[in-house]
Structures are given as C-alpha cells and as structure tokens.
C-alpha cells in the first residue's frame, strides 16, 4: 500500500479534464492504497477571487468529489486550510526552495503573464503544493500532465531537505495516466481544458445537463475531412476519440474500426450518448448529496481531524531536525 496524495483547487466545479485526468484515478486508488485527497483552498487565494463565493465553491467541490466516488470512509477527504500544518511546512520549505527554480515554473509564467499585480503567493504556489504532499509522507501523486514540473520541484525539495537535515520526507512520484492526462478544450484544440482559461463552449463541466452537453459535443471543432481516427493533423477528432475511449473503456483502435466511414455526425452523437451515460449517475448523486450540505461539512471535519493526526508527527520531526524548539501541546 502506497501513501497517495492529490489535490484540486476550489475554483468552480470540476471539468472533464479534472475528472478523466485525476479524479477517476483517485477513486480507483482508494481500493488499493492509503489515500488523502485535499481541496486546496489556500492555493486559490494566489490569484484574484470572489470572497463571497469561495466557501460555497469549497463545499460544492467536496460534494462533486463525493458524487464522483470518493468515499470518505476509505480515503481522507479534507480542506487544506483546516490543517494549519500545510502553511507551517510551506514556510519552512520556502527556506529550502530557491528563487531561480520557482522562476522557471511554466505555470507561474503563464498564470502571471499579462497581470500587472502578481502575488508572492502565486510565485510560491509550488512550494505550498510540495508541503501538501511531504507533510503526509506522500509517495504517489496522481495528477494530470500539467502538474509534471511541479512534481519534479517537489521531489527536488524533498531530496534537498533530506540531504541537508537528514532523512525526513518520502520522495514522491507523479502518477500520470497514459490516457486522459491532457484533455483538450473542444473549441481550441491546442489548449488543455481549463477552469479559468478555456472557452465556454469547449469546456465540459461535471454538472452540464444533457442539452448543454449536446451543444458542446455537436459543435466541437473537428476538421474538414470525415475520417474518424486519432492523428496529429486531426486534434479535434483525436480529443473526442480519447474521451469516448475513456468513458466507455474501449481501446482507441476498436473505436477507429467501429467508425471507419461513419462520418463525424454519427461519431459525435455516440460520443454524446457515452458522455451523458457516464455523467448522469454522478449528477444524480450530486443532487442527493447537495440536499444535505451540513453532512458534507461534517465529512470534511472528520477528514481534517484524520489528516491532522498524520501531519503532526511529520511537523514534530521537521521542527526537531531543523533546530526549532518543540511546538507547545495544542
């Protein structure tokens, strides 16, 4: 059993990229590993946000994760800011990370470009992310492809800390799926589906009703040909094939054979049906859970208590090896 840790930001409901790139693997990992899943609300403070919406967005995301199959009795589901040790360890790791390595992060470059005021938090974002995982001795981190560089930095920080102060942290490995690690925007086929930067029509949300799914899938960008096959010169068709393949658990070549000569119309209608069938049970469960937000809040409270009981011993060890006095008993 490996210790698994992953996180997601509460900036709106999950999209299909989050679901296929990360969350569905979190669900299967619960059966085999010792898992912690974290709603990283402190990370969402790094760019301008609506204060009035953050609390609701956090609860809605927790509801969406439960609806997607995260089981709070098997995995620890919790909110980052409810376990204060994340911030404490982030500060200590700030004194191990360098300006140079943080300045090379491509997500920082893209998220900061075009902004006139960039928070120190945005620059420091990957250090807090490293603290999230190292705090729990995380070994395996299931994420989409866009987190690759942050995971490399996390490993570097763990190794540097261990070398400087003595073995303290497990050195985590990224677990990036072969299929679905980069689900593309259906309108901008050279950009990943994203919560903030994508097109409205090209982004599929977990709670999109069938009518909206139909509009999005039927208007998805393809190309002027009619061949249903995955190829670099057919990014739109490839993206739809990949979605179809994952949600129906059908190998891609089988789908290519099935739709040979069928044309885009038939293919898109089948993608739509498959997607509706995949999302409908999640949406039905969401509606049930959303009727009792207090219960979701209680599940998060229990998750935070369990997470904290794992975080505290790591922090005791960290304080000891770096020369701080022990923390007074809480």
Nearer to ligand TYM, 22 or 79 (CB): 22
Per the residue annotation, which of 109, 178, 192, 234 is the catalytic one?
192
Does residue number 202 form part of the binding site for ligand TYM (CB under 6 A)? no
- CA dist 58 and 54 (Å) reads 6
Does residue number 182 form part of the binding site for ligand TYM (CB under 6 A)? yes
Q: Which stretch binds ligand TYM (CB under 6 A): 95-103, 125-133, 163-171, 254-262?
A: 125-133
Whether 178 is a known active-site residue: answer no
Q: Which residue is nearest to ligand TYM (CB)?
A: 21
Whether 192 is a known active-site residue: answer yes
- x-marked contacts with ligand TYM along 28-57 as a string, rule CB under 6 A: ------------x--x--------------
In the list 3, 4, 17, 39, the residue contacting ligand TYM (rule: CB under 6 A) is 17
Does residue number 82 form part of the binding site for ligand TYM (CB under 6 A)? no
Whether 195 is a known active-site residue: answer yes
Does residue number 319 form part of the binding site for ligand TYM (CB under 6 A)? no
Q: Which stretch binds ligand TYM (CB under 6 A): 178-186, 209-217, 219-227, 286-294?
A: 178-186
Query: What residues are labeled active site?
Result: 111, 192, 195
Residue numbers of the site for ligand TYM (CB under 6 A)?
Answer: 5-9, 17-18, 21-22, 40, 43, 129, 132-133, 141, 143-144, 146-147, 181-183, 192-194
């Amino acid at each position: 059993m490996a210790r698994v840790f992953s996180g997601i930001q509460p900036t709106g409901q999950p999209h299909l990229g989050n679901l296929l790139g990360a969350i569905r693997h979190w669900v299967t990992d619960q059966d085999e590993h010792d898992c912690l899943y974290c709603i990283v609300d402190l990370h969402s403070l790094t760019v301008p946000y609506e204060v009035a919406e953050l609390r609701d967005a956090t609860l809605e995301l927790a509801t969406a994760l439960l609806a997607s199959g995260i089981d709070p009795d098997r995995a620890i589901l919790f909110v980052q800011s409810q376990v204060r040790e994340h911030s404490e360890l982030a500060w200590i790791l700030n004194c191990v990370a360098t300006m140079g390595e943080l300045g090379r992060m491509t997500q920082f470059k893209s998220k900061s470009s075009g902004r006139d005021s960039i928070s120190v938090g945005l620059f420091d974002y990957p250090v807090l992310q490293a603290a999230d995982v190292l705090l729990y001795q995380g070994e395996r981190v299931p994420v989409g492809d866009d987190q690759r560089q942050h995971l490399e930095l996390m490993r570097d920080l763990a190794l540097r800390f261990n070398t400087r102060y003595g073995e303290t942290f497990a050195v985590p490995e990224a677990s990036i799926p072969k299929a679905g690690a980069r689900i593309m925007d259906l309108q901008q086929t050279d950009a990943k589906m994203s919560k903030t930067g994508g097109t409205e029509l090209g982004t599929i949300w977990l709670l999109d009703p069938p009518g909206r799914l139909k509009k999005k899938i039927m208007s998805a960008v393809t190309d002027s040909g009619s061949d249903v096959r995955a190829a670099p010169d057919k990014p739109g068709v490839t993206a739809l094939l990949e979605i179809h393949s994952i949600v129906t658990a059908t190998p891609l070549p089988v789908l290519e054979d099935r739709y040979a000569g069928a044309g885009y119309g038939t293919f898109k209608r089948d993608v739509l049906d498959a997607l509706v069938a995949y999302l409908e049970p999640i949406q039905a469960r969401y509606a049930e859970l959303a009727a009792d937000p207090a219960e979701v809040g209680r599940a998060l409270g229990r998750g935070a208590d369990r997470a904290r009981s794992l975080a505290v011993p790591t922090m005791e060890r960290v304080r000891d090896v770096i020369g701080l006095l022990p923390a007074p008993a809480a």
